[in-house]
Amino acid sequence: MKFDYNKFTNFISSNPDQNYTLRDYATSFNLPTSINAPNGLSVDKSGNVWIADTDSSSFYKFSESDKSFTKYITSEPPLSMYGNATGVIKTPVSHPYWTQIQDNVLYFNEQTSNAIAAYDLEKDSLVEYFVPSKNPEWADCGAMVDCGIAQIFGFDVVGDKVWFTEWAENKIGKVDLSKPLSGMVSVSEKQLTLKKGQSTTIDFHVNADSETKILSRATSNFSDIAVQIPTKSISSTQTLPVTISASQSALSGTYKVLLTARNADVATSEFVTVTIQ
């Protein structure tokens, strides 16, 4: 919902004796049914509204001009965070929570991924900084060692630092954004257009100097988009071919494919926008 404060104050100052309701100055917008738990909300300098869906791994951009929503997704939570010793977790989700925008970067905490995320609005890229503190009492760790989450909730971005609380560990932490990242990634193409049943291959370049997992996710429903990468793990810098395919029964629309390189400390990702005709 958007409340027009300036219009409201101008009216009451000019019409002190006239009846009014706040509803006259508020506009509501229906959310897509895919959003189950809208939580954090921030507005960028272009007026786009960014929303975190805490019941999933997704965050969304809402454009008021055309009433459109664009769905984005985080990388899958590392097993060492949520554990799944009992095997009951079939689809792990990262649970993005609060949001904040600074210098054209959307920051949010990922509760189950035990991470602070930074999405660059201009580059369409995502960095997820994993917090080393882990409390096994807040995850399904069983006998697993080095497992758990710190319950990262409150955070604030100040310059090139992100301060945050660790509720389950009774600590505060800090991410230093000025330090160079390991495992930086790039893609040969950021925009793809596919017909149903069509596929194409792009290059995914990963600067790796340690054990690095290669991951992918898509915001499409069901199996509308398939992503094939020849390896799931590398330990040196490589350029990997990534084949992105649209199924014969895919729904037409525009989707996001997330390509990720994840090491023990950070996950770096590039989004590729895929339009299915």
Query: Closest Cα to residue 50, out of 121, 140, 146, 142?
Result: 121
- Element spanning 192, H or E: strand 191-194
Question: Left if phi > 0, otherwise alpha if psi is -120 to 50, otherwise beta: which for 267?
Answer: beta
Residue 90, φ and ψ in degrees, nearest 5? -90, -35
**133 pLDDT more than 90:** yes
DSSP 21-58: -GGGGEE--PPPTT-S-EEEEEE-TTS-EEEEETTSSE
Query: In this predicted structure, what is the pLDDT of residue 24?
Result: 78
List of domains in the chain: 31-179 (2.120.10.30), 181-277 (2.60.40.10)
pLDDT at 127 over 90: yes
Per-residue pLDDT at 25: 81
pLDDT bracket for residue 222 (50, 70, 90): confident
**What mean pLDDT is reported for the chain?**
95
Per-residue pLDDT at 45 exceeds 80: yes
- 34 compared with 10, residue with greater pLDDT: 34
112: its two tokens: 């189950």
Q: Which pLDDT value is given to residue 162? A: 98
Per-residue confidence (pLDDT) for residue 9, from 0 to 100: 79
pLDDT of amino acid 164? 98
pLDDT of residue 3: 77
What's the pLDDT tens digit per position in 94-117? 999 999 999 999 999 999 999 999
Is the model's pLDDT at 13 over the cut of 90? no
pLDDT at res. 14: 80
Share of the chain above pLDDT 70, in %: 100
Contact call for residues 240 and 203 (beta carbons, < 8 A): yes
Q: Report how far residue 36's alpha carbon sits from residue 93's, in angstroms, rounded to the nearest whole number.
A: 13
Whether the pLDDT of residue 17 is over 80: the answer is no
pLDDT value of position 159 = 95
pLDDT for residue 98: 97
- When pLDDT is averaged across residues 156-179 and rounded to a whole number, the result is 97
- Residue 11 pLDDT more than 80? no
36 pLDDT higher than 90: yes
pLDDT tens digit sequence for 49-106 = 999 999 999 999 999 999 999 999 999 999 999 999 999 999 999 999 999 999 999 9
- pLDDT surpassing 90 at residue 38: yes
**Burial profile 164-183: b = 16 or more Cβ within 10 angstroms, e = fewer:** bbbbbbeeebebebeeeebb
